[in-house]
């Protein structure tokens, strides 16, 4: 079931999310009962690219059929793979359901470059991408299971745009908030993004403090999770930082 309201993501919220790890975001979602939010097998091709934040545009593949999937389909402007590349809104992340099949490419450098120039925020598949040497040189977040040289036509039939999909075992609805970092990709329902982002930002600050304390020799007992005494020490540290 989708909502009638088109999700939005403010620049301020997007900037905040870029500073939060998907590990911390996953904990905030777990507290709200969402256990399955991290896309399995989606690893960054270019770790130098900026962290990825955007709204989901989806593409669904089904298994290819030889009489339908041939090179001639690429000239069809209604071909779902080609159409989504030319219509994805700026700031959106293309989420591709390749059924976890990385034996053929979900897309390649030409289509990914086109999305980059259109202002897309990234591309994710639970399958593979081709032209990975070129993709690694782009300043554009791209996530996949592994390189896949064969054309998508050998295994994938591009079926639907902007329908609910599964990507790496995670349900993805159009308009979901997508965040990617060096560890992978997480999917956040848009109605939860504000509270999750705020809590995760606070968690990040606290965990950075804890890491410094542990690095200086402190025990994790009573610190993580914090005892009342540790919580007071943290609040005192925050107050001192605010005055500095």
From CA 206, how far away is CA 111, in angstroms rounded? Answer: 41
Separation CA 31–CA 190 (nearest Å): 16
Whole-angstrom Cα distance, residue 188 to residue 22? 10
The domains of the chain, with CATH numbers, are: 39-188 (3.50.30.40), 202-243 (no CATH)
Q: pLDDT 10s digit of each residue in the chain, 244 long? A: 444 467 889 999 999 999 999 999 999 999 999 999 999 999 999 877 889 999 999 999 999 999 999 999 989 899 999 999 999 999 999 999 999 999 999 999 999 999 999 999 999 999 999 999 999 999 999 999 999 999 999 999 999 999 999 999 999 999 999 999 999 999 999 999 999 999 999 999 999 999 999 999 999 999 999 999 999 999 999 999 888 7
Q: Which of 76, 88, 134 is nearest to 108 (CA)?
A: 134
Contact call for residues 7 and 66 (beta carbons, < 8 A): no
Q: Which pTM was predicted? A: 0.93
Residue pair 161/80 in contact by the 8 Å Cβ criterion: yes
Q: What span, in angstroms and rounded, lies between the C-alpha atoms of 178 and 21? A: 12
């Amino acid at each position: 079931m989708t909502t009638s309201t088109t999700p939005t993501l403010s620049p301020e919220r997007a900037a905040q999310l870029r500073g939060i790890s998907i590990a911390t975001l996953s904990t905030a979602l777990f507290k709200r009962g969402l256990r399955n939010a991290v896309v399995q097998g989606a690893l960054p091709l270019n770790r130098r690219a900026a962290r990825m934040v955007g709204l989901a545009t989806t593409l669904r593949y089904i298994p290819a059929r030889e009489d339908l999937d041939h090179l001639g389909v690429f000239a069809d402007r209604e071909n779902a793979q080609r159409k989504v590349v030319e219509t994805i809104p700026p700031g959106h992340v293309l989420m591709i359901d390749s059924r976890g099949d990385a034996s053929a490419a979900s897309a390649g450098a030409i289509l990914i470059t086109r999305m980059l120039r259109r202002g897309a925020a990234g591309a994710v598949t639970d399958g593979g991408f081709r032209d990975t040497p070129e993709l690694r040189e782009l300043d554009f977040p791209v996530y996949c299971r592994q390189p896949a040289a064969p054309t998508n036509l050998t295994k994938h039939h591009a079926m639907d745009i902007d329908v609910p999909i599964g990507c790496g075992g995670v349900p993805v609805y159009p308009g979901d908030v997508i965040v990617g970092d060096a560890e992978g990709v997480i999917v956040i329902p848009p109605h939860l993004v504000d509270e999750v982002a705020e809590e995760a930002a606070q968690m990040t600050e606290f965990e950075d403090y804890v890491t410094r304390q542990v690095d200086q020799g402190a025990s994790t007992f009573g610190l993580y999770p914090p005892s009342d005494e540790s919580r007071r020490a943290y609040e005192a540290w925050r107050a001192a930082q605010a005055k500095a």
